[in-house]
Every structure is written in C-alpha cells, then in structure tokens.
Amino acid sequence: MRTVPLSRCSRWLLVLAFACPLGWAGDAKAFNGKDVSARKIGGELNVPDSSGVRRKLADFRGKVVLIFFGYTHCPDVCPTTLSRMNAVLELLGADAARMQVLWMTVDPERDTPALLSNYVPAFNPSFIALRGSPEQTLRVTHAFEIQYQVLHYNGQVLVDHSAHGYLLDRAGKVRVRLGYDMTAEQIAEDVHRLLRGS
C-alpha cells in the first residue's frame, strides 16, 4: 500500500523536527568564550617548563589545556588571572584532574626558572610554568596571537601583554579564546563543554 512509505517518511520528518531545534540550541550557546575552532591559532609548544623539562602538547593529550601568558613582576592582571584559574579548578571538582593549566612567561629574562618554580605553584601546585628562550617566546606568542612588549622606562621594566588565554580540547586543538573579563564560572562551564566533547 502507498500509505506505508508515507508514514515512514513522516516518521523521519518528526525525528528531524525534534532533532533540529536541539541542534540549533546547542550551537547558539556553544561557549562562553569566543569559539575559535575554525581559526588556525596555536601550535606546538616545545619549550621548557620551570624545571627544564621540554613540554609538548602531546604531554597533555586527553586533558583540556588552559593557557595564559604573563610575567611574575606583574602586580595586578597576572596574579588575578592565576587566582581565577585556581578558582576554575575548584569549581571543576573531580574534573580538575582532567585539565592542565599552563602559564607562559613573556619576560624570560627576569623570570628565571627558580622564580617561576616559586611563583606559579603558589597559586596551585598543579600549574605548570613555561619559559622559552627569547626566540621560543616569540614563536609561541606569535602562534597564539599574543602581543607583548618589554619597555625600559625610568629605570624600571614595563611589560605590556595581551591578557587573553585559550582553552585547548583533549586533542590539543585551540578551541576557545578566553577574555580577561570572563568569570571563573564561565570558564569552568567551557571546560565542562570541552570535557563532554562538544
């Protein structure tokens, strides 16, 4: 009978009708940060951490990576950001073990490995500080679209730098750009989305 294929067809239409709004709703509110999945941002790290171990993205495969850039002589933005990253881990609870926070200095001249080893774990012992050579620092910051400038002014050093960071998914791909003005709650939600595999 001719009615059979018709009802089969309408059944599919029903499935589509339910599936589409769900799909759209998911896309409309993908991340709190800026979805940069389609952009070619980032690249291999291949820089030493504060203990001298050369770090690659593959070291963190299976974990969501949160990366920010800064310098230890910063009184304001950097400690605030690092404290916020610690708050993100607290909000994640058990899922914190599935995330790695990386913090790379843009002032490797003053940020010695010893200083970084004291400074960064003071926020959370699991945080890893990265310190490249001047060339490596240029390469990585360029790849991650981070601007920085070290200025010598009136006997002091002033470091201007981009305050944003990124979330990388479990495969090491840069997915979300995190603005400086995002809350720990918003960042934790984005980490959860990446851990769920969106």
Partner 1 sequence: MTKVHRMVQLALCSVLAASAAVAMAEVTVTDPWIRGTVTGQSETGAFMTIKSTEALKLVGASTPVAQKVEIHKMEMDQGVMRMRPMNGLEIPANGAVELKPGSFHVMLLGVSKPLAAGEKVPLTLQFQNKEGKTISTTVQAAVRPLNEAHGDAKMHGDMKH
Shortest distance (Å) from residue 197 CB to partner 1: 27
**Nearest residue to 143 (alpha-carbon basis) of 117, 162, 121:** 162
| Closer residue to partner 1, CB minimum distance, 44 or 185 | 185
Nearer to partner 1, 57 or 178 (CB): 178
Nearer to partner 1, 48 or 79 (CB): 79
Contacts with partner 1 by CB under 8 A lie at 72-77, 79-80, 82-84, 86-87, 112, 114-115, 118-119, 122-124, 147, 153-154, 156, 158-164, 179-185
Task: Find the length of the chain.
Answer: 198
Pairing of strands 54-55, 47-48: antiparallel
Residue with token string 């993100």? 88
Shortest Cβ 144–partner 1 spacing (Å):
13
Closer to partner 1 by CB, 143 or 163: give it.
Answer: 163
Which of 111, 122, 163, 171 is closest to 141 using CA atoms? 163
Instruction: Please answer whether residues 191 and 92 qualify as being in contact, where contact means their C-beta atoms are separated by less than 8 angstroms.
Output: yes
Q: How far is the CB of 10 from partner 1 (least distance, A)?
A: 47
Q: How far is the CB of 112 from partner 1 (least distance, A)?
A: 7
Distance from C-alpha of 54 to C-alpha of 149, rounded to nearest angstrom: 25
